[in-house]
Amino acid sequence: MTITVENISFSYGPRQALKDVSFSLNTGGFHALLGPNGAGKSTLFSLLTRLYQLQSGEITIDEKSIKLQPAELMQRLGVVFQQSTLDLDLTVKQNLLYHASLHGISSRNALPRIETELSRMEMQDRLDDKVRSLNGGHRRRVEIARALLHQPDIMLLDEPTVGLDPQTRRSLNQHVRKLCEEDNLTVLWATHLMEEINSDDPVILLHKGAVKINGKASELLNQSGANNLTDAFHILTENPEMGAPA
Ligand code: ADP
Ligand code: MG
């Protein structure tokens, strides 16, 4: 499995959000899409999920353009959006049954699939609880279980841990890493929180809409001279015009 993003530029009217972005992701494992607020992470996700039409460039999955085989290729993606999209007044089961039916999963298969994915997230005992009664971390786990119901091989998560406490963030991140190992799932995890990144993770660092680093996270250390990833991230994304004439 290979996802290739080739020369993507995207503008909202006069505001350019992505500038000639290219990279490719290979089969399996945890990949991070790093960038501060406004870097273009969500815009890129919206193009990958075809919420927005490409303005220029090309995205392919296994060399097939997402423009040409949208339904088939979209079926291979599981998505957790930046904002939660669960209905708080429905139970976990109701939310997931609805999603299963949207994906054409038969009613006979839906409940077993829901139970399998919830138990992988250690949420099987919350099936009949209203989402409103779950804490933020548990809601996110339900969203991850939901994104996996139709058995995608690629999962996109857009800042899934924002607003969660550090322990909950850590446990969610570890759960997703475990899924990568168990299923050979390819994950693209967008974040600006460097605690979620290991130095040997493959990363794409976006800054002001352009790819600044495409390599291992340790490359941030090499390029910034910092000795930890958090400092490196700040150095690489806070002073972009350093040294440039005013
Ligand atoms: P990120 O997810 O990394 O925070 P976004 O993709 O949301 O970045 O935003 C990239 C840039 O595009 C920012 O400058 C943002 O203000 C702008 N932008 C995002 N969505 C819209 C929109 N719907 N209309 C106009 N500008 C937008
Ligand atoms: Mg965003």
Regarding whether 50 and 92 lie in a shared domain, the answer is no
Nearest CA residue ID for atom 7, ligand 1: 42
Question: What letter does residue 91 receive in the DSSP assignment?
Answer: B
Regarding whether 190 and 132 lie in a shared domain, the answer is no
Nearest CA residue ID for atom 24, ligand 1: 12
CB atoms within 10 A of CB 108: 7
Regarding whether 62 and 26 lie in a shared domain, the answer is yes
Distance CA 168, CA 89 (A): 23
Domain enclosing residue 33, as ranges:
1-76+153-204
Binding pocket residue ranges, ligand 1, CB within 6 Å = 12, 15, 17, 35, 37-43
Helices marked H in the chain — which ranges? 41-48, 70-74, 92-102, 107-120, 136-147, 166-183, 218-224, 229-238
Tens digit of each residue's pLDDT, the chain (246 residues): 899 999 999 999 999 999 999 999 988 899 999 999 999 999 999 999 999 999 999 999 999 999 988 888 889 999 999 999 999 999 999 999 999 999 999 989 999 999 999 999 999 999 999 999 999 999 999 999 999 999 999 999 999 998 899 999 999 999 999 999 998 899 999 999 999 999 999 999 999 999 999 999 999 999 999 999 999 999 999 854 544 444
Q: Is residue 63 part of a domain?
A: yes
Regarding whether 161 and 67 lie in a shared domain, the answer is yes
Return the CATH number at 187. Answer: 3.40.50.300
What distance in angstroms lies between residue 111's CA and the mean position of ligand 2's atoms?
Answer: 32
Number of domains in the chain: 2
Regarding whether 177 and 121 lie in a shared domain, the answer is no
Q: What is the pTM of this model?
A: 0.94
Q: Could you please report the per-residue DSSP string of 214-245?
A: EEETHHHHHHH--SSHHHHHHHHHH-TTTTS-
Q: Is residue 169 part of a domain?
A: yes
Ligand 1 nearest atom to the CA of residue 37, by list position = 4
